[in-house]
Structure 1
Amino acid sequence: MHKPRQRLGFTRAAIKTLESIGTLEQFLMKHKKDYVDLHRTTEQERDSIEHEVTIFVKSCKEQIDVLRNSINEEDANSKGWLGLKGDNLNADTIAHKHGVVLILSEKLHSVTSQFDQLRAIRFQDAINRVTPRRNRKSTTKSNAAEASASISLDPDMKRDSEVRDNDVSQAAPMRVQEQLLDDETRALQVELNSLLDSVQETETNMVEMSALNHLMSTHVLQQAQQIELLYEQAVEATQNVELGNKELSQAIQRNSSSRTFLLLFLVVLTFSILFLDWYS
């Protein structure tokens, strides 16, 4: 009664995991336009959608890991003396469960790939928004430089008129104050422009790092699936080796039986010949 209960529990867990992956796929289809279209939602709402998808994916991965661990435990418990499996039916069941886990992993990877495409579109839009901003910033710098030059010329003309109208002793302090104000204004403009450059560069780097991080996680998932496939092949090879050992044992037994029969036949034949010779 214990083994059927385990199989039933595994089936329920696998169906629950499949339903979770289906729910995740439906969630992506429902919020696909909201996540991609910049005019439908805000950045905070898109971050919220991404956070929920991440939680979904993490939950599905944990469920798949639980299934995989249960299979490994059952496989370890089914091994007999010297680590050899004694039940072909149990081995087939374990191989079937590994196939179920592999299918669930591929299904989850397919859904996450769809979300990766959506994230790539969002990251590209963010980069496209940052690039024109830099161009506008350089244009603003040139305009500010021209404006500051014109401003610096206008006060010169104004100061010339004031020099002509006022006394020399009153014009000199005013020129010094205006020059100081102009210098402070230019320094503030340069500082603000440098801060804007650093902020925009940091934003671009963060977007690129996030994209690379997600691509890396996708590759890690693909490698995990390849490792799972290799494990399936190793299990199948082990089963083939066990079947070969059984066939070899049966062949040895048949060979031993044939030798015993031949020896018995020779002994009986020898005694028969001796008896006939004695009788005659």
Structure 2
Amino acid sequence: MAKIRDRTEDFKDVVRQTALSLGYNESKMAAILSSFIIHKPLQRTSFTKAALKTLESIRTLEQFIMQHRKDYVDVHRTTEQERDSIEHEVTVFIKACKDQIDILKNSISGEEAKSRGWLGIRDDHSNADTIAHKHGVVLILSERLHSVTAQFDQLRAIRFQDAINRRIPRKKMKRVSSSNATEIPKSINSELREPDEPQPEPLRVQQQLLDDETRALQVELSSLLDAVQETETQMVEMSALNHLMSTHILQQAQQIELLYEQVRIHFVVCIFGYLYI
């Protein structure tokens, strides 16, 4: 049986001689060999750069919410204007992130339209996989933005609930103060009257009528005040619920649209594979 001979060194010598004959010097050969060992980093596409930028914006938004969480929830730390300013900045952040995600979606749609043939069917499996991967990236970014906005929605719900709780005790205090105010004039009038002084009958009847009218007006004003405060509380609750509802509807619409795109891509790929089979 013949012995196995290692011809690696002979191969290297042949490669070196061939390279020298083609005009390569030792430095060029060393650079080529090093490029085989240490690969250059791949150039990132514009989509990848935009996706990473969007992810960084979402992380910045999350850090901003966590940093100003106590200032937004605690009424003793900041004023209403400062909390409104925080909410405005968060809203601007969310809108900017959503616009970036929409730009990514539009770029995918444009690339998808270019990759279709004259029958509307893609002619490249690798391009279809790339587009599906990009749709997945957009879906991940949308879910990440949804989780961050859900955190802020919880803080907003706490703020609105605290505002409602502050209005309810104030209503009770006003009721107590109004009842005390009705009792004070009666006590003053009773003290000013002499204990044994007889009152004429017409004056006593007139005083009784005035007292009845005063009590009726107080009851009516108290009921009107309660109705106004109850309406104000309901308006605050409706505002909070409308905002939460609009946020959830927008997020559900985005998820439905992404799912529709993924199903459509999968369907077209299946048709393309069936035609080629």
TM-score, normalization: structure 2? 0.71
Bigger helix fraction: 1
Corresponding residue of 1:135: 172
1-structure distance, mates of 2:115, 2:263: 19
Alpha-carbon distance, 1:197 to partner: 3.4
1-structure distance, mates of 2:112, 2:232: 50
2-structure distance, mates of 1:160, 1:115: 70
Secondary structure, counterpart of 1:102 in structure 2: helix
1-structure distance, mates of 2:72, 2:261: 38
Alpha-carbon distance, 1:105 to partner: 0.2
2-structure distance, mates of 1:188, 1:57: 51
Matched length: 233
Q: For residues 215-243 of structure 1, what are the alpha-carbon distances to aligned partners after superposition, in whole Å with 9 as ceiling and x for unaligned? A: 21232113421331232122112212211
TM-score, normalization: structure 1? 0.70
Alpha-carbon distance, 1:198 to partner: 4.9
Q: Equivalent of 1:219, from 248, 252, 255?
A: 248
Given that 1:152 and 1:182 are in contact with CA atoms closer than 8 Å, whether structure 2 keeps it comes out as no
1-structure distance, mates of 2:63, 2:218: 50
Alpha-carbon distance, 1:210 to partner: 2.2
| Identical amino acids, percent of aligned pairs | 64
2-structure distance, mates of 1:83, 1:104: 28
Secondary structure, counterpart of 1:80 in structure 2: coil
Secondary structure, counterpart of 2:75 in structure 1: coil
Q: For residues 20-46 of structure 1, what are the alpha-carbon distances to aligned partners after superposition, in whole Å with 9 as ceiling and x for unaligned? A: 111100100100111112221112111
Q: Equivalent of 1:112, from 122, 144, 149?
A: 149
Corresponding residue of 1:167: none
CA RMSD of aligned residues (A): 3.3
2-structure distance, mates of 1:48, 1:191: 39
Q: Equivalent of 2:86, from 37, 40, 49?
A: 49
- The unaligned stretches of length 5 or more in structure 2 are 1-43
2-structure distance, mates of 1:158, 1:47: 59
2-structure distance, mates of 1:232, 1:90: 14
Q: For residues 195-223 of structure 1, what are the alpha-carbon distances to aligned partners after superposition, in whole Å with 9 as ceiling and x for unaligned? A: 64355334312320222122212321134
Corresponding residue of 1:266: none
Given that 1:64 and 1:101 are in contact with CA atoms closer than 8 Å, whether structure 2 keeps it comes out as yes
Secondary structure, counterpart of 1:40 in structure 2: coil
Give, as a single letter, the amino acid of the residue that structure 2 aligns with 1:93: T
Tell me if 1:233 matches 2:270.
no
Secondary structure, counterpart of 1:144 in structure 2: helix
Larger radius of gyration: 1
Tell me if 1:209 matches 2:246.
no
Corresponding residue of 1:99: 136
2-structure distance, mates of 1:50, 1:199: 27
Given that 2:175 and 2:222 are in contact with CA atoms closer than 8 Å, whether structure 1 keeps it comes out as no
**Alpha carbons of structure 1 residues 149 and 71: separation in structure 2 relative to 1, 3 Å:** same
2-structure distance, mates of 1:158, 1:59: 77
Tell me if 1:197 matches 2:234.
no
1-structure distance, mates of 2:144, 2:175: 48
Within a 5 Å distance, the mapping from 1:14-163 to structure 2 comes to 14-154=51-191, 157=193
Secondary structure, counterpart of 1:82 in structure 2: coil
Given that 1:25 and 1:111 are in contact with CA atoms closer than 8 Å, whether structure 2 keeps it comes out as yes
Given that 1:68 and 1:101 are in contact with CA atoms closer than 8 Å, whether structure 2 keeps it comes out as yes
Q: For residues 84-112 of structure 1, what are the alpha-carbon distances to aligned partners after superposition, in whole Å with 9 as ceiling and x for unaligned? A: 11122221121111111101100000100
Secondary structure, counterpart of 1:95 in structure 2: helix
Secondary structure, counterpart of 2:179 in structure 1: helix
Alpha-carbon distance, 1:15 to partner: 1.6
Secondary structure, counterpart of 2:273 in structure 1: helix
1-structure distance, mates of 2:141, 2:163: 33
Alpha-carbon distance, 1:66 to partner: 1.6
Given that 1:78 and 1:90 are in contact with CA atoms closer than 8 Å, whether structure 2 keeps it comes out as yes
